[in-house]
Amino acid sequence: MDRTDAARSLKDDFGFTDECLRSFDSSDLVSFHRYLGQLREDPAAAFSVVGENRQFTVHRFDTALARRDLGRPRARRLPLPRVTTMIAENGSPGFMIISTSGKGALATPNAFEDTPSDDRLKELAVKEGLKPLISIGEKDGGTEILLTLFNLSFQTLARNVFETFAAHRLFPFLTLIREIAGEEKRVRSITHCRFFFKSPPGKETLASIESDFARYLEADLRFMSIFDIIGPSMVGPSSSHTAGACRIGQISRSILAAMRKGGVFGRIDAVSVKLIGSFRDTGVGHRTPSAIAGGLWGYRPDDERVMEFGDPLFLEKNPIEIAGDKALFKGFIKGSAEDDKKYSSERSANIAEVTAITDKGEFTVTGFSLGGGNVEARYINGKRLSEPLTGKEEPSLRDLLGADFPETRIERIVSGSPGTGPSEERPEFNTFEEVAEYCASEKKDILEVALESEAKLCGASGEEIFSEMRGYWLIMKEGIRKGLENRELSPFRLSGGDSAKMADYSRNNRNFDNLYGRAAAYAAAVNEMNACSRVIVAAPTAGSCGIIPGVLKAYEEIAGTPEKKILEALVIAGFLGMILFDDVSTAGADYGCQAEVGAAAAMAAGGIAHIEGGDASQVIQAFTLALKNCMGLVCDPVAGLVEVPCVKRNGIYTSVALTSAMMAMSGVVSFVSPDEVVLAVREVGEKLHRDYKETAGGGLARTRDGLRVASEFRKEVERFFRD
């Protein structure tokens, strides 16, 4: 049979459109006609053809088989640009044809003639801020959906597209997917999709599909080290407002030092710090101004000298030494409402501008604290950097700012993982559900995958990971010991001694001398140390630093658990937190306390499920059940201090972690799937009013008792911000 006959039969007998026919060459059409004829005789038949730069499969209509074929490692390794074509008919006979071609063997050049060019797609990636682009229109008597995505893993795309169409009981007849490489570090890949439906689905259905795509197709896992989540060790009280603030100061110091060394300017005369958003509203209570200034001196977040050297009285008398210059400190400045608007699209409310006054004018570094001590410097003098600076890299000024700047390197300030450093290799998953699928398909447990992920991303061996984690575990246990021994009140008398009362009561009451009673007391003990600005481990934040150590220490005592299993639980907790962090920042100023205490309870639940022998699905279910039942938790600290309700809340939410682990191990599962729970948490966090995001503008902070403390605290605020 020649091409003409094959094309006619495919069109008449199998419903191929003219565009389908144009998408393949003559030999393909003849092959498809033959295979579909055999499939009509034997619906269980399947055919596969594999070449050097191309492969295709033909089988019955089955979305599970299609997902498998789309995600085959060989297909994903074909070189970019890469084109995937799928023709599917869920009828009689039902069939799917899936073809993937790599560079040098593109089988569907005509299929993208009327879509944006590669250069235009790259422009859109930068202009639209990497958000999905969706449009719907009529074509050839049917309906076409165009979808452009940036940095999305193909596995996440395939899974969510199939799930979205299945939820609406429809499937496109023709799917065309074009993948190209981006040109910037920020734009690694671009995927352009076309979905053609012969019968228009209807306005309500299309609106629902558009909404689902916008919601579920933003996932791009920003792989981090598990020690970005379990860690850093720090002086309290807040990982975002204290440790993160200190790191913003450190990064600013490194950038200014590189500029001075590279000759961008000849000397630094003075520096000032402007606090914006939540840094302005509750920063003094979190010791944010002192932390930034201490970082400008070069001190780390766990160095107790940070607070001394960042105190306003000390700064008045002592110029800050940067790159050999002695820079006068010009003061802390309150950001305005206009400053808030300027950064309103940044998905972070913890913002500081560090300005150096030099012989060549002013240079301003704008830093954002994302939670858990993780930060990004995103702007210099109002110009967005080509790649945010996190303090873990050593780029040159030219890398960040362009050819007009020297090659001078910016000193790294964060060591991160104990491994050799970031690599280009990425794990084979992007979300919680993909982790569970990956564990099942590769027959690996979740600990093995967590260690494999850390090894791929940071070059760390299992021995190095456990050694580093043991150091953190020792700090956690020391925080429990010191907290239980402490009977003194915090500097502002809002907390202190309660954990000792709880421990004494539970020891003398057999109804409470159990896993739940001890975990609550131990968690409160650690958070009391945080309120006193003692050294703790952010897990994942300082405001929630007691839950994971409290739960694990109590379990260790009650069950006699070996230290190795505790360290494994910490690794898994960090791994789960890393995946959550992609969609939900762990800063209360961004998503409320659900992102701090809620995240910690979920991570602890996952760790306990692992110790109990849970498989990947059970561990993820434990995490999901805890997170789901912390949704909507607001961040309303009295006077902006990390004490009320934080200390007692740490104790109380240990029970959520333990109960969630117990439920998951008993076979209870969340009705709403894990990935959808995460996105629901993000939605709730984004819709929370700013008064409930660590601004002390609502909730407990606005009660009579809360306002009384705020009034007493006003003198401390005035020490930093002088009108």
Q: Dump the DSSP string for 24-84.
A: S-HHHHHHHHHHHHHHHH-TT-EEEEE-SSEEEEEESS-HHHHHHHHT-HHHHHSPSSEEE
Average pLDDT, the chain: 90
Residue 110 pLDDT: 52
Dist CA 437 CA 432 (whole Å): 9
Dist CA 259 CA 256 (whole Å): 5
Q: From the first residue on, what is the mean pLDDT of each consecutive set of 10 residues in the chain (723 residues)?
A: 84 86 82 90 88 86 85 72 89 85 58 68 72 86 90 82 89 91 76 91 91 74 81 88 95 97 96 96 92 96 93 96 96 95 88 97 96 91 89 90 92 73 67 91 94 88 95 97 92 92 96 97 97 92 96 98 98 96 83 96 98 98 98 94 95 98 98 93 93 94 95 90 70
Dist CA 14 CA 20 (whole Å): 11
CA distances from 4 to 20, 89, 96 (A): 14, 22, 22
- CA nearest neighbour of 325 among 357, 277, 290: 357
- Whether 230 and 537 have beta carbons less than 8 Å apart is answered as yes
Dist CA 464 CA 116 (whole Å): 47
328 residue type, one letter: L
User: How many other CB atoms are found less than 10 A from the CB of residue 324?
Assistant: 10
Q: Half-sphere exposure (CA, 13 Å, Cβ side) for 258?
A: 23
Helices (H) and strands (E) in the chain, counts: 29, 17
CA distances from 398 to 252, 258, 387, 422, 424 (A): 16, 11, 12, 21, 21
Q: At a CB cut-off of 8 Å and minimum separation 6, what does 25 contact?
A: 107
| 388-400: b (≥16 Cβ within 10 Å) or e | bbbbbbebebebb
Dist CA 577 CA 586 (whole Å): 9
Q: Which residue has the tokens 């658990």?
A: 561
418 residue type, one letter: P
Helix, strand, or coil (residue 273)? strand
H helices present in 109-184, as ranges: 118-127, 154-167
Dist CA 596 CA 587 (whole Å): 7
- CA nearest neighbour of 413 among 222, 232, 267: 232
- Whether 665 and 622 have beta carbons less than 8 Å apart is answered as yes
Q: At a CB cut-off of 8 Å and minimum separation 6, what does 663 contact?
A: 621, 622, 625
Dist CA 255 CA 244 (whole Å): 16
Dist CA 516 CA 652 (whole Å): 9
H helices present in 217-275, as ranges: 244-262
Dist CA 329 CA 402 (whole Å): 29
Structure tokens at 208: 């629902």
Residue 590 pLDDT: 87
Residue 722 pLDDT: 66
Dist CA 44 CA 516 (whole Å): 54
Q: Cis link prior to 645 (omega < 30° from 0)? A: yes
Dist CA 354 CA 255 (whole Å): 11
Secondary structure element (H or E) that encloses residue 375, with its range: strand 374-380
- Whether 486 and 625 have beta carbons less than 8 Å apart is answered as no
Work out whether strand 82-89 and strand 174-181 pair parallel, antiparallel, or are unpaired.
antiparallel
For the sheet containing 383-389, what is the strand order? 320-322, 325-334, 268-277, 350-358, 361-371, 374-380, 383-389
Residue 75 pLDDT: 66
Helix, strand, or coil (residue 180)? strand
Dist CA 72 CA 65 (whole Å): 11
- Whether 559 and 482 have beta carbons less than 8 Å apart is answered as no
- CA nearest neighbour of 385 among 393, 396, 395, 377: 377
Q: Half-sphere exposure (CA, 13 Å, Cβ side) for 675?
A: 21
Q: For the purposes of burial, counting CB atoms within 10 Å of the CB of 443, is it exposed (0-12), middle (13-18) or buried (19 or more)?
A: exposed
Dist CA 661 CA 622 (whole Å): 5
Residue 108 pLDDT: 47
Residue 104 pLDDT: 52
- Whether 594 and 685 have beta carbons less than 8 Å apart is answered as yes
What confidence tens digit (pLDDT) does each residue in 387-410 have?
Answer: 889 998 899 999 888 889 999 999
- Whether 69 and 42 have beta carbons less than 8 Å apart is answered as no
Q: Half-sphere exposure (CA, 13 Å, Cβ side) for 694?
A: 35
